[in-house]
Amino acid sequence: MQRLDGRESLSRLIGKKRKRTLSSPLSLLLQSKSKPNPKEEEEKEAEVEAPSTSNDGKIKGNDDPVWVSCPVCGSSIRGTDHMVNSHLDICLTRGAKKKLTQRTLLQLKFCPISASKTSAGVLDNTRAAIREGELVGGKEISDSEMTIERILSENNEKIEHASGAQDVSKLTKCIDVQMEIKTVENTANENIVPQSTMVPKVDTFGVEDSKVLAAFETFIVGRKFHDNIQLQQGCQLFLSRDPQNAKDKHAIKVLSTDLGAGNMLGYLPRELAKFLSPLMDNHHLKCEGSVISISEHPLDPVPIQLVCEKMVASGKGEHDGQQNFEFLWENVKRVTEYGKLNPPSMTKYQQNFCLMIEEVVNNHTHLFTSEEKLLLGSFDSLSNNAQRLFVRIYTRKGPWFRMSNISYPEISDLQTTSEELRLAGYICSFNCSEDVVKYNIKEVLEVLNVFEMREISNSILSKKGVNLTRRQELIDALFSAYEDETCQLLPKMILERAGTCIKISSAADILFWRVQRLFFLNGEQDFSAFLLSDLGLIKFPQYNCAIVHPIFQYRSDLLEYEESVEVAQIMDESLDENNLEKVMRCINVSHEHIQTSFREAAQSSKCGSPPAFFSRFSASWVYSKVLSLGVSVFERERRYEDAIRLLKDLLSQITRDSRRGYWTLRLSIDLEHINRVNESLAIAEEGVLDPCVRAGSKLALQRRVLRLAKPPRRWKTPSYANSVKRTIKEMAPLDFLTDDFYITRRNLIELHLQKIQKGKAGEILIASWDSHVGTACHGVNWDRHSLSDLRAVVSCIGGSCLASLCRHLALDYRSWCSGMPDLLLWRFHGGDGDAGRAKLVEVKGPRDRLSEQQRAWMLILMDCGFDVEVCKVGSP
């Protein structure tokens, strides 16, 4: 089936497809003549809904009024005795504890009175100090911004170029405040000893000492292991700068001393390297150390202790340099202290996911209900294992995943982890003991492999003479048997083989689809954008994002946009299924919306309104793309009257849009299809004058006017006629692919061939490269090989062989432009003035044979003096 115009653009807009829900305008769209499926409705009821909060602070659900917060991890759970007791057993067994926020500290619920009073007092004092106007780089710091990463990033330029300590006091004071806040929160939460005994002891360098040792603890991140390396406690290591690192110019590598200097174990944390790298570069700091302990997971950060030695003492006249050194070293101490309180336990994809949630909640908080905010906020209280498992399955296709097939090295105790996610409302699960009527059996069938489905098929379908082997055929046959209810044991057989399975709950799936769309603001990007950036394959520019107008001013705007994307998704899926009835419903829904939305937008527009490009994030924009694709559908079906109706409505409603050129062109063409040539010409003439019609669309309309505007329809020639009719010179000579090419230029070609034969091919190559590099030329790809490689090839082939080959191509390029051997090999023997050797090789598989064209090439090359071979590749 041909690819419809606008289909690819619509697919990119849709992006990650989500599980559809029946909102009011779409309920009519999704209705069909087939009988409803009550199983899907019961499945939705079986999933865990996002809890809401009552006025008294208790959590309640839509149907069940009793919801409570776990005092250990903070998760929202149903208030039945069984659920509370089982959840508490899991939390206490795993040792999970909720990270208390300022609000929960002041409520004084989960810590001793003495500790809570002290903690609350210190916390109030430190936060009050911030509110009194402590500045970092002239900017007031709010509670939510008081993180070490934000402070360091905002003062990056000062860190790199500081020459003294005059501007350091405010920065260090804010870092001290942050450290004190974090310590107090941990003290209240864990009921442990004060800060002085919590943080690692970091010795300081003396001002006058030439060689003074200092020790501190940190972690190895970004670990890399070779298969033959077993990292052990006490392993000796040293640091080495990596200034050429594409991701971070401050990068510091950690290498093993015991296992060989070439074995890199990973890197120091980015925040620490930012301060330690200038000390190593400019102040001759030498750092060595050892591994303190081994992490539970191979990819987790490794705790290490480093001992730093200042190799060169600062002279008495180097006061500014000493100030800079002390500034950097003080921040090294603070970063290591903060790292002790906040170990880098998160994996990179986990950090990226949390970053996405944080940015969306900060910038679009007005778009979420209290229930949605509660669910998003509870993600931070999940254990690392739970967060990692959720992100892993969220980014996979699904919807169901067999627990027996889930295995990630960074996630331990999958059973406990999945139960934590289920109780928090992020996933739902089933096992073989549950009633299959709650679930979509076709989705469950997707988790079975071909062997398992064939077993079931043989036991229930073999009597009918059905013998299927392909996966999709097996799924369709088993699902059909399930719907016909021909085998009562079929659901049980499917569930027994599937075992325990999990999937993202509907509430979480819809919510995080919304979060992802708000973060990327398009459907084309996903979490692979993070990966490409983390790997250094794509480097994004640094910029400050100042939000003047929100993308979605009200929640209703966002919901309308999501609904339009849902219609677009249904349209896309219906085209795949060739369901024209549902395609027409999508077109009708979009058409009804487009007739009123742009008129209302025009009436409500006023000074200070958002920029015009914000319309791309409106429901009307999406519906217009659905209609553009609908035009292509009507044209494919030769329903030109319907296509004309849609195009006229689009052009009348959307008066300023670059797509007007495409719509006008299609309207003119479709009118000509139904023999309304005069109207087609008039539309084309109007389109040429439309300021929104540009580039190729305008040129196409101009060409249509010149073709249709012949007497007696039009007697006057348009002013652009001569411009449109200009001939474009063509990338080779017109006779290049004919025999006349050589005949016409025989003397000139032979003169060049003689020079090549006498060994001057290298000179010709260099002169041609310098004069014409980058110029389009038939048969030449300037980017494929470098000049040095081409010079080496010319030298190794030799003048005689090269001249014979060039003469052959000049005589009949059309016949010999294909079929050459796959490989050109060359080498130099090593002697001075050695011309080297070249060989042409045709590669063939075990059952491949030379084509007649390839055989002719091999014979011609042998006649020219080339060393030619056929390389047979055998099967392993």
204-217 pLDDT, tens per residue?
Answer: 444 444 455 678 88
Tell me what pLDDT residue 41 has: 44
pLDDT at 258 exceeding the cut of 60:
yes
In percent, the amount of the chain with pLDDT more than 70 equals 70
pLDDT at 49 exceeding the cut of 80:
no
Is 47:421 a contact under the CB 8 Å cutoff? no
Tell me what pLDDT residue 480 has: 86
pLDDT band at 775 (very low <50, low <70, confident <90, very high): confident
pLDDT at 316 exceeding the cut of 50:
no
pLDDT at 149 exceeding the cut of 50:
no
pLDDT band at 737 (very low <50, low <70, confident <90, very high): confident
Is 162:324 a contact under the CB 8 Å cutoff? yes
Tell me what pLDDT residue 262 has: 62
- Pairing assessment for the beta strands 236-241 and 285-291 based on DSSP bridges: antiparallel
- Pairing assessment for the beta strands 823-827 and 837-844 based on DSSP bridges: antiparallel
In percent, the amount of the chain with pLDDT more than 90 equals 29
Is 71:87 a contact under the CB 8 Å cutoff? no
User: Span 612-639, mean pLDDT?
Assistant: 93
User: Among the listed ranges 43-47, 650-654, 657-661, 756-760, which one has the minimum average pLDDT value?
Assistant: 43-47
CA distances (Å), origin 554, targets 187, 597, 723: 41, 16, 49
Highest mean pLDDT pick, 173-182, 249-258, 342-351, 755-764: 755-764
The Cα angle at residue 629 between residues 627 and 631, in degrees rounded to 5: 70
- Lookup result for tokens 């996933």: 427
pLDDT band at 612 (very low <50, low <70, confident <90, very high): confident
Tell me what pLDDT residue 338 has: 77
User: Span 39-55, mean pLDDT?
Assistant: 42
Tell me what pLDDT residue 620 has: 92
Tell me what pLDDT residue 167 has: 38
pLDDT tens digits, one per residue of 628-684:
999 999 999 999 999 999 999 999 988 888 899 999 999 999 999 999 999 999 999
d(CA 581, CA 583): 5
pLDDT at 502 exceeding the cut of 70:
yes
Radius of gyration of the chain (CA): 36
Q: Which helix (H) or strand (E) holds 746?
A: helix 746-755
Task: Report the b/e string of 363-397 with b at 16+ CB within 10 A.
Answer: ebeebbeebbebbbebbebbbbbbbbbbbbbbeee
Which pair of tokens denotes residue 335? 């970063």
Helix, coil or strand: residue 286: strand
For residue 584, give the amino acid letter.
Answer: M
Is 693:661 a contact under the CB 8 Å cutoff? yes
d(CA 433, CA 597): 51
Tell me what pLDDT residue 84 has: 59
pLDDT tens digits, one per residue of 437-463:
677 888 889 999 999 998 888 888 766
Q: Which helix (H) or strand (E) holds 303?
A: strand 302-310
Neighbour-count burial of 165, counting CB atoms closer than 10 A to its CB (0-12 exposed, 13-18 middle, 19+ buried): middle
Is 47:506 a contact under the CB 8 Å cutoff? yes
pLDDT band at 93 (very low <50, low <70, confident <90, very high): very low
The residue that leads in pLDDT, 421 or 77, is 421
d(CA 654, CA 242): 55
Strand partners, 309: 213, 286
d(CA 860, CA 387): 65
User: Span 817-836, mean pLDDT?
Assistant: 78
User: Span 299-311, mean pLDDT?
Assistant: 83
Tell me what pLDDT residue 686 has: 95
Tell me what pLDDT residue 698 has: 92
The residue that leads in pLDDT, 297 or 38, is 297
d(CA 478, CA 461): 9
d(CA 81, CA 67): 11
- Rounded to two decimals, the pTM is 0.59
Query: Across the chain, what does the average pLDDT equal?
Result: 76
User: Span 832-839, mean pLDDT?
Assistant: 73
Backbone angles phi, psi at 222, to 5 degrees: 55, 45
Which pair of tokens denotes residue 240? 């080495």
pLDDT band at 195 (very low <50, low <70, confident <90, very high): very low
pLDDT at 512 exceeding the cut of 90:
yes
Helix, coil or strand: residue 92: helix
pLDDT band at 143 (very low <50, low <70, confident <90, very high): very low
User: Among the listed ranges 10-19, 424-433, 815-824, which one has the minimum average pLDDT value?
Assistant: 10-19
Instruction: Report which of 191, 197, 194 is spatially closest to residue 108, judged by C-alpha positions.
Output: 191
Instruction: Report which of 810, 807, 840, 815 is spatially closest to residue 825, judged by C-alpha positions.
Output: 840
Backbone angles phi, psi at 868, to 5 degrees: -125, 140
User: Among the listed ranges 102-116, 245-259, 340-354, 535-549, which one has the minimum average pLDDT value?
Assistant: 102-116
User: Among the listed ranges 112-121, 418-427, 733-742, which one has the minimum average pLDDT value?
Assistant: 112-121
Which pair of tokens denotes residue 666? 């299609």
User: Span 241-265, mean pLDDT?
Assistant: 81
